[in-house]
Chain A
Amino acid sequence: MDLLREIVQWLGLSRLELGFWSFPVLLGLIFLRAPIGLAMFLMGLLGWIFAMNGNPTPILAKLKSETYTTFSNYSLTIIPMFLLMGQFATLSGMSSALFKAAEGFLGHRRGGVAMAAVGACAGFGAICGSSLATAATMSRVALPELKRYGYSGGFSTATLAAGGTLGILIPPSVILVIYAIITEQNIAKLFLAAFIPGILAAIGYVITISIYVRLYPDAAGTRAAVPWAERWRALAETWPVLAIFGLVVGGIYAGWFTPTEGAAIGAAGTGLVALLGGNLTWRLLGEALVGTGKTTAMIFFIVLGASLYNNFLALSGAPQWLADYVLSQGFTPILVLSVILLFYLVFGCVMDSLSMILLTVPIFFPVISGLDFGMSAEHVAIWFGILVLIVVEVGLITPPVGMNLFIINAMDRSTPMTSTYKSVLFFVGSDIVRVILLVAFPAITLFLLPV
């Protein structure tokens, strides 16, 4: 203890300086492969001790209840429930129903089977809040079909990787829940605001596909049109998706139940669909629970570390100082926003979206909310949340560590990673166009929100 005190005195840093220095050190630990939650926890712990002049007692007392309070936080209980809902969704058989319906309507067009895959991903995103699960589940259904109709390997995998990001763009979305909690925004409004950008993303990917097949006519085969009666029948089969999505998102929004209750109903409903479809054996239920467990623990360890670290940052006053500094420089708001979004794009190439949001939103959000975008504070917060959600998700499909790319490539060993990389750049382009549109016209995002 005395040694700690001496180190602190020798360093002679003020709390503000501690706050600033902690960030590069934290990044250094993370880049040296420290588990992200662990790195944040350690820096939070050390930061607290240093800020208290080497006295560990306050933080030790705080930690008696800190973990339990974080893990039992009612707003956060929505996360494991949505994760289990996603696990059930993959077992529900809805992925093939959605793909069949989308294929009926789109399949005969040029590049139509790929478009159908995107459409089905969008539908699946409405009952699944995770990109990786959406990409993996839809690939299982759509990859064989794409192959069958002569779509090239890299084009198929890239389409599904991009389509997978719709899982998180279209509500429910685990990342939006986290953002809502950090910035104290209304989850229902964020879900509603994400809806149109999510649809725009799907449309953007469909346009991308249609451009791609014109540039590379060999990349896609053709298939015969499906009779209309069969199309409607296939569409009708997807009603549980619409029912569950409507009930969960509509019910949360209408105030029938809290977001956590909505997630519980969604999980129960999706589980029921899986059960009635005969897809839910004991073994698969066990796998679904274990899968939920792995992701839940991974997320909550980061949430715990981030909560401790952000606590220390707030104590140091560094985020507020940064916000004041940026404001005093008189940069235009759009410039500041663009720099932040660019930062996310670059960082998204190496770090997973959730960690990035937990790490940086507490630092950037005070800056953004201090700027004048000519909108109410709430609208700025929601708009910024949707923009951040999109740019961090781009990281899922950009080399070198786009997780969606890895997941799909693992399912299609015959396609080399490089050909996926080449094709996926078109979809990244579509994402960037969409971000620019949404930045230029905030009304697209805020349009559905009541005034």
Chain B
Amino acid sequence: MHRVVNWLARASAIVGGIVLLALIVLTTLSILGRELSKLGHAMGEGSWLLALGVDEIKGTYELTEAGVAFAIFAFFPICQFHGQHATVDVFTAGLRGRALAGLKAFWEVVLAAVIVFITLRLYEGMLRYLGNGETTLFLQFPVWWAYGLSVGAAAIASLTAVYCAWARLAEAVTGRPRLVEH
């Protein structure tokens, strides 16, 4: 189970990262096209540059928004699996062994509940856009597609969160560490 969740979290992060990379390339090409087209216009209406038809890539903005939202949801599992959520540790630094493990387990359970809750709300949001058929302004793709992708990533985040909560509980009960933190 541990290895499956680990693999899933990594795979999810890498897919999110690839989407982010793709958006970076897309944005860079779009700006390049936009600047070249400006240059072409400056060279005059009949210039060869304009004849090539280079211009900015329309809809980059919308794809960036939808893609980054997906990527962020896809990044959640790896963050949680490695215990990377920011905490203030000084005031509980004096706690030892079981007490600290118990406290960590408690928050991990609450965190898992909230992530599952967020995922369910997001799913409801997707159903709403599925029902009203709203599309994005420029590319005209249905908004629920973007929501759907994010729901998929959030579902993996929920699964990871539930596993981490279980693992932390097991740590607190058995006193043996299971999850790495780095």
Chain A interface residues (CB < 8 Å from chain B): 30-38, 41-42, 60, 63-68, 71-74, 76-77, 80-81, 84, 256-257, 260-261, 264-265, 267-268, 271, 286, 288-290, 292-298, 300-302, 350-352, 354-355, 400-401
Contacts and interface: CB of A to CB of B under 8 A. Distances in A.
Given A33-B87, A401-B90, 20 more contacts: A34-B110, A35-B107, A38-B111, A60-B121, A63-B118, A67-B121, A68-B125, A71-B68, A74-B61, A77-B23, A264-B24, A265-B27, A265-B31, A267-B24, A289-B17, A294-B78, A296-B75, A297-B76, A300-B75, A301-B76
Given A265-B28, A268-B24, A301-B85, A294 B114 contact: no
Contact of B24 (A30, A84, A401): A84
Contacts of B74: 293
B146 interface: yes
Interface of B: 10, 13-14, 16-18, 20-21, 23-25, 27-28, 30-31, 35, 61, 64-66, 68-69, 71-76, 78-80, 82, 84-92, 103-104, 107, 110-111, 114, 118, 121-122, 124-125, 128, 146-147, 150
A32 B103 contact: yes
B28 A401 contact: no
A429 B5 CA distance: 47
B168 to A, nearest CB: 12
A352 B90 CA distance: 12
A80 B68 contact: yes
B35 A256 contact: yes
A53 to B, nearest CB: 21
B56 to A, nearest CB: 10
* B interface secondary structure, majority: helix
A71 B72 contact: yes
Contacts of A84: 17, 20-21, 24
A289 B20 contact: yes
Nearest to B15: A289
A127 B27 CA distance: 19
A71 B69 contact: yes
A294 B77 CA distance: 9
A84 B22 CA distance: 12
Closest 9 A/B residue pairs (Cβ)? A289-B17, A297-B79, A293-B75, A64-B125, A72-B69, A264-B27, A293-B13, A297-B75, A35-B85
A37 B110 CA distance: 12
Contacts of B27: 260-261, 264-265
A80 B82 contact: no
A302 B85 CA distance: 9
A10 B79 CA distance: 40
Contact of A38 (B25, B35, B85): B85
A63 B121 contact: yes
